[in-house]
Amino acid sequence: SSEVLEAIENVIEDVFKSLAEKKAPVLTLANRSDWRNIEFKDSVGLQMIPRCTTQQIRSDCPRSAPKFALILKILSMIYKMVQSNTYATKRDIYYSDTLLFGSQTVVDSIINDISCMLKIPRRSLHILSTSKGFVAGNLSYTEEDGTKVNCTCGATVFTVPSNVQGIKNLISHAKFVLIVEKDATFQRLLDDDFCNKLSPCIMITGRGIPDLNTRLLVRKLWDTFQIPVFTLMDADPHGIEIMCVYKYGSVSMSFEAHHLTVPSIKWLGLLPSDLKRLNIHKDVLIPFTKQDQNKLESIQKRPYIACQPMWKKELEIMAASKLKAEIQVLTSLSSDYLSRVYLPNKLQFGGWL
């Protein structure tokens, strides 16, 4: 906490120095969403380069002055929370003055900018985000406040903790972790008792694009248990994008890649090549939209696809067919095909990439 306080004090000191010299104070932020500031490293994923391009948030420029003021406002809130050892969610911060902040998105973006500027992970700033992810299966742990959580009890679902860093005493006999893209598929596998039937496993879903806490938990499970981590996604560009976020990280959070990515993640399904192999009828497949086309082309150009020849091949199959499929297409073969046939065969015979 002293490191956080010192980092904030340094920023404020610079502001005072500028004022004392009768200059307009300026804050320098890294351009987080610029691909030119990102490098791909096989062992980490997407990470920010040390000397990246920056933008100046000036206090004397009408366009950037409001952002300058909001950064200082949130810095003062963080400073008080770290001093008093209290925590707030991003939502709490927004609702402390909705008129001032205007929207939750503005708050979220500024918090990430501050984290990047101070080079301090967001959770060390005493800011929590409400988790939307779920976890189930062979896992128990103790939360920071001492609450014991046991996910092993049947079909019980637990929300991913909002302070993943604080959880301890993780115990599991799981043989693997399965990341499921969608909530509906996750619930279906739970109903089929998948976590126990084949071999004990841990299932996680970020319910679409994963939030920070879900990504942190996947990383923590991998660090703790060193067991294989598989993904089960729709065979479409959106599903592949989500899988890449878990495996290689996202551009906007590349400054925190070391805590968030799991480069050893394997693509279990649904593979574009599975659709032909399983004779899935074309009637249940969905034609590409222009958006799908653009998204796939953008993914194919990314630096990490070049080092994944098998993935590259799958993307080419999808691009050639211009068709996508949700995991639910497997129900066209039989209602429990996913948990009874598809996943057991994949896991037993190594059908992952």
Q: From residue 149, how far is each of 43, 139, 143, 153, 342 by CA, in Å?
A: 32, 8, 7, 10, 30
User: What tokens were used for 108?
Assistant: 């979220």
Other C-beta atoms within 10 Å of 121: how many?
Answer: 17
The catalytic residue positions are 95
Closest CA to 191 of 45, 73, 340, 59: 340
Sequence-separated (6 or more) residues with CB below 8 Å from residue 186: 134, 136, 180, 203, 205, 207
Q: From residue 81, how far is each of 15, 70, 88, 278 by CA, in Å?
A: 21, 17, 8, 55
Contact 296, 316 (CB under 8 A): no
Residue 70 one-letter amino acid: L
Using DSSP, state whether 306 is helix, strand or coil: helix
Question: Half-sphere exposure (CA, 13 Å, Cβ side) for 179?
Answer: 37
The 3-state DSSP composition of the chain as helix, strand, coil percent (nearest 5) reads: 50, 20, 35
User: What tokens were used for 326?
Assistant: 């949700």
Using DSSP, state whether 289 is helix, strand or coil: coil
Phi, psi of 150 (to 5 degrees): -125, 100
Closest CA to 284 of 339, 239, 327: 327
Contact 231, 168 (CB under 8 A): no
Sequence-separated (6 or more) residues with CB below 8 Å from residue 39: 46, 47, 48, 49
Element (H, E) at 91: helix 90-95
